[in-house]
Structure 1
Amino acid sequence: MDSLTQIVLGAAVGEAVLGRKVGNKAMLYGAIAGTIPDLDTFVGNFFDTITAIEIHRGFSHSIVFAVLFAPVFGWIISKIESKSEANWKNWSWLMFWGLFTHPLLDAHTTWGTQLFWPFELRLAYKNIFVIDPLYTLPFLVFLIMAMRLKRTDPRRKKYNQIGLIVSSIYLLVITLALKFYTFQKFENSLEEQNITYERMDTRPTPLNSILWTANIETENAFLIGNYSVFDTQPIEFYSVPKNYDLAANLKDDPNLKRLMQISEGWYTFSSKNGNLHFNDLRFGNLDIEDPDSEFIFSYELAKEHGELTATETEKEMTDAKKLLPRLWARILGN
């Protein structure tokens, strides 16, 4: 999830664990714990693109990381807050839950997380977009209400609990129910249109849980369709050719195989200005209403010193500005 959401979650968890003893400092250190796992993006800057992708949401988003580093961070905080009522064990417990709930939340996004690192098992339930105001804003409001009260005020604990409950109901009940409902809609539509397919993957579109996208794999192409719970017209699917032949001479390249594994098989190739591009389909394209728009995650492939490299295609701010109005219109139904 985005940084603000992880800060809010970490702060709320910190308050739940230690707010009664240390007040707003529990929120402060909980917020810090909630941001620490995402420092892997900074570490990734020292590696090539493919390795950076593999690192992201890996070790730092695992149970192992939380168990190993919570006592370390707890000890550091206990030295900083030596006059506090909380001891090393208290701070370590707070840090553990702050570090652990971060990947638990990320597991619900499209990218997912390697919670059980070092095992190569990425959890990705794909029932919430990385930025979802309906999850974050109510959570933030209750957190601010709690923050403004004294640590001994019983309403403080109540407000924080309400925020945790509301956000959890949205994440674990509403979005999962919508994923199941929309999946059935896509499945029924494919059956009605007599479309034979190998597998299907669904996810919410940016900033909401009303409009959903489905990737459907067929023999030679991927079909992509969108469905809003407000739709009244049948679902339309458009085809994206796999174009695997474009990379036939690279099929045994180890770096290309790494990209294929990262994308979980949801990829295509395309040629632009004579350059070969690897497109990760899991995150959609830049314009939900334009099948020919570029994919959000696209990598230009090239050989450098005999080794295959991948360079992420840069996106312009104008791309996002075009996306939002079309997205909003599509959310309201076809």
Structure 2
Amino acid sequence: MNSKQLIAVAAMALSGAAMAQSSVTVYGRLDASIGSAKVGNITNGAGPANVTQMFSNNITTSRLGFRGTEDLGGGLSALFIIETGFSPDAPGQTVLGDRAAVVGLSGGFGTIKLGRHDTSFDDIRDLMVSSNLWDSGNLASTETVLSTGATTTNGVGGLRDYGDRANNQVRYESPSFSGLTFGVSYGFDEEASPVKKDVVAYNLRYKAGNLDVGVAYQENSQAGFNATTPANSYLITDDLKYTTVAAAYNFGLFRVSGGWNQAKEVNVATPVKANTYTVGVNVPVEAWDFSVGYSTAKAKRAGAAFEKGSAFSVGATYSLSKRTRAYAALTNGDIKDAAGTKIRQRDIYALGLIHTF
């Protein structure tokens, strides 16, 4: 065997050892559907126009991701995640890693992640609707702060979305202590004092058999200088605090999830507080999966009720294969003012297809 052959054999051996210690997975999903939406404000009894369209991400969010691990020895592993979202109906400019861009370490101490990722609060917020067919906000049954972000589709109280992800984030996930875990995440604002726009979240979760229950808290600081006045004239604050309690149970023939979510403003003259209660039931029948969800919410400003709302969703998926599902779903929700007059509505129905790889 000559020197070139020896080098080739050595390279293959080293490559094989590296591959044995490392793994990289490419994954993703696509969700596209056709249907109708009537979403927006109701003014003087006139609601938004009905629009027939092709949707993206009605039941789940389309994405392309890469994740991997490397065995560092001694029970320690390195990990990474890069996940990007997009819209199949009209793909446009995307931001690489907008859903996740993480590097971290995992071992007996738990897991530490650095970068853009879900907050610790979001894990428990997702648990609340885990028995529904969908994990996207469009057709979810909740008429809450979990909105699409547009003014016309704000939830009860009109408060901003809690933000399921945070930039510049350090996140710790504990190991399981007989089913009990806890987590904490902190997103740096990276702005000079006294401006403060960081995101901090905590969760506590217990899993045992078919039971999954948790509680979480998140605070979004929004302190900054008022741009409408002379520079540095005075500091404005509009901090938001979120608390959620959620649970899910698998009965075998069906699954149930639900919980309570609160969003409230602090450091403002007339703070808004919104409370939401949500329940969902999922029933698998052979290749079918049926789901029903309902939520009700009420918002108060300075202690006085000023908005209330409810939403109802129903849908079904049919598994064409292990990776492909067809679905039909609809959501009906409205928000009323203190006098009982409808001021916003959200009516969506769609027929779609999801492929996961």
**Structure 1 length as normaliser, TM-score?**
0.29
Rg larger for: 2
**Structure 2 length as normaliser, TM-score?**
0.27
By relative contact order (CA 8 Å, sep 6+), the higher-ranking structure is 2
Structure with higher strand content: 2
